[in-house]
Amino acid sequence: QVQLVESGGGVVQPGESLRLSCAASGFTFTNFGMHWVRQAPGKGLEWVTFIQYNGNNKYYADSVKGRFAISRDNSKNTVYLQMNSLRPEDTAVYYCARDMDSAYYLYYWGQGTLVTVSS
């Protein structure tokens, strides 16, 4: 069965960096694009970024453009989110999700990892 397991969350101070990982299993990783979506405490869902199946195309929400970078290692079935210059408003649970057949719907989701940015 499809599994997505996020890791790397934690508490950091404003301006610091953090790298999240999402390990995928149960499907052919190289066939699917991957998303990161976040959810601030008590708030709704915010799409953050997407990487194409082969890593050639990447897209970002305006709120993170220039600060966050998505990447993938298809040999390790893992997608990453490098987060730099973190701000308190980046505090959220970060979910990775598998795309649905290049349809940009989010078919399978991980359990999420909490990132807290606070001084």
Partner 1 sequence: EIVLTQSPATLSLSPGERATLSCRASQSVSSHLAWYQQKPGLAPRLLIYDASNRATGIPARFSGSGSGTDFTLTISSLEPEDFAVYYCQQRSNWPPAFGQGTRLEIK
- Which residues make up the interface to partner 1 (CB under 8 A)? 35, 44-47, 50, 59, 61-62, 95, 100, 103-107, 109-112
**Quick one: 66 or 119, whose CB is closer to partner 1?**
66
Closer residue to partner 1, CB minimum distance, 61 or 69: 61
Q: Of 88, 49, 89, nearest to 66 (Cα)? A: 49
Residue 35 or 72 having the CB closest to partner 1: 35
> Which token pair is 81?
């989110």
**Contact of 12 with 116, CB cutoff 8 Å:** yes
- Minimum CB separation of residue 35 from partner 1 in Å reads 8
- Nearer residue to partner 1 within complex by CB, 84 or 109: 109
* CB distance 23 to 7 below 8 Å: yes
Instruction: Using alpha carbons, select from 94, 81, 80, 77 the residue that is nearest to residue 27.
Output: 77
Q: How far is the CB of 53 from partner 1 (least distance, A)?
A: 16
Least Å distance between CB 45 and partner 1? 4
The nearest distance, CB 25 to partner 1, in angstroms, is 16
First to last CA, the chain: 40
Q: Tokens for 18? A: 């953090």
